[in-house]
Structure 1
Amino acid sequence: MTRIPIISIVDDDKSGRIALSSLMRSLGYESHLFSCAEDFLASTERNVTDCLITDVQMPGMSGLDLQRELCNHSPDVPIIFITAHPEESVRQRAKAGGAVCFLSKPFDGQVLIDCIERTLANARAHSARM
């Protein structure tokens, strides 16, 4: 039996979290929601997350700070960034840190879906080789 992929969503915007969660459920994924990076890092879900979607700008720890922390302790978690303030320097930093996608709000839901499916397929292929 195949395990249902877990998508963790970190966004300080409640309506954004709920919308993304609904989209994930419609695709058959399990979603875990967090209003801040600190809550995600303190959770046990960080150890079972197959893909992380995070906002860039949040109170407290930013998405880039979260990425840096995960690179140090959970380097295999693929990260998709979403932002309402798409700055090229931030996109470059996210990509340099290993981000799989960097999407500007509002974004096309299909673009996000394609990114997630590509990311999960790559993870499955990597696991099969191990």
Structure 2
Amino acid sequence: MTKSHGQLVSVVDDDESVREALPDLIRIFGFDVRAFSSATEFLDSEWVGRTDCLVLDVAMPGMSGPELQEELVKRGETIPIVFITAHKDENERGPLLEKGAVACLFKPFSDIALEEALDLALG
């Protein structure tokens, strides 16, 4: 699939290694990327309204990924969300998808799984 240049994917994850590695991979897929260490940092940024897709960690200190999703809905922001989580709990995936997430990937996920989720979110 040909990517549209200029599409912005924002990564929100409290894990520094994820914030360093994931943007490099997403850039290889052809997207622009911004990384944030917390939901609050993302919400306080100028990038919320410019974000075309959000790659969002489920469990973070402070505001969790699902809480950020709810806050975006309250603000009228309709950003497709790909959740990522280290907790392999299938019971967690269902409610996230029901509330509008495009995908929920369990860490470690493959490059292909992430690219497919982004294509789904941005296609």
Above 0.5 in TM-score? yes
Identity between Structure 1 and Structure 2 (%): 43
**Which SS does the other structure have where 1:61 is aligned?**
coil
* Partner in structure 1 of residue 57 of structure 2: 55
* Partner in structure 1 of residue 41 of structure 2: 39
Aligned residues: 120
Which of 23, 27, 34 in structure 2 is aligned with 1:21?
23
Letter in 2 for 1:13: D
2: CA distance, partners of 1:53 / 1:40: 12
1: CA distance, partners of 2:23 / 2:122: 17
* Partner in structure 1 of residue 119 of structure 2: 117
2: CA distance, partners of 1:86 / 1:79: 18
2: CA distance, partners of 1:74 / 1:42: 16
1:120 deviation in Å?
Answer: 1.0
Letter in 1 for 2:107: K
Runs of 4+ with >4 A deviation: none
Residue pair 2:81, 2:121 contacting (<8 A) in 1 also: no
1:3 deviation in Å?
Answer: 4.8
Which deviations, in whole Å up to 9, do the C-alpha atoms of 1:67-94 show, x marking residues without a partner? 1111111442000000000223321221
**Which SS does the other structure have where 2:113 is aligned?**
helix
Which range moves more in the overlay, 83-92 or 64-73? Answer: 83-92
* Partner in structure 1 of residue 88 of structure 2: 86
1:55 deviation in Å?
Answer: 0.5
Which of 68, 71, 95 in structure 1 is aligned with 2:70?
68
1:28 deviation in Å?
Answer: 1.8
2: CA distance, partners of 1:28 / 1:108: 17
**Which SS does the other structure have where 2:61 is aligned?**
coil
2: CA distance, partners of 1:71 / 1:105: 25
Larger Rg belongs to: 1
**Which SS does the other structure have where 1:32 is aligned?**
strand
